[in-house]
Structure 1
Amino acid sequence: MVKNVGAVGDFDSAHETALLTATGRNQLLDAMHWIAEGRRLNGEVDGPTLLGALVAAADAGVAGAEPALRTAVRAALRSTLDTSADLVMTDGIVPPSRYEAALANVARRTASGTLVDITGSVVMAAQADDPLVIEALGLVAGLSWRDLQARAYARGTSLPGEADGSWSPSQVFAAFSVVDDVVCGRVEPQVPGAVAARPIELLLGGTASGWAAAEAMREGGVSYGTLLAQRDVGSAWSAHRNRSNNEISRLMVRRVLNALDEAGVGYWSTEGDAAVAKAVLGQRAGASGKPPGQLSIVTRAATGGPGYAVLIAIARDGGTARKTAATLLQLPKRFNVPSVLVLFGTGWADRGESDDLVRAFGGRLYTEHTLEQLAEAASTVGTS
Structure 2
Amino acid sequence: MQQSVSRQDFDRWMVPAYSPASFIPDRAEGSRLWDENGKEYIDFAGGIAVNALGHAHPDLQQALQQQAAKLWHTGNGYTNAPILRLAKQLIDATFADRVFFCNSGAEANEAALKLARKYAHEQSGAEKSGIVAFNNAFHGRTLFTVTAGGQPAYSKDFAPLPPAIDHAIFNDLDSAARLINAQTAAVIVEPIQGEGGVVPADPAFLRGLRALCDCHNALLIFDEVQSGVGRTGALYAYMHYGVTPDILSTAKALGGGFPIGAILTTEKLAATLNVGSHGTTYGGNPLAGAVGGKVLELINRPEVLEGVQLRHRWFTDGLNAINQRLRLFKEVRGLGLLIGAVLNEDFSGRAKQISLAAAEEGVMVLIAGANVVRFAPSLIISEQEVKEGLARFERACEALIKGAS
TM-score surpassing 0.5?
no
Scaled by the length of structure 2, what TM-score is found? 0.24
Q: Whose strand proportion is higher, 1 or 2?
A: 2
Q: Whose helix proportion is higher, 1 or 2?
A: 1
Scaled by the length of structure 1, what TM-score is found? 0.25
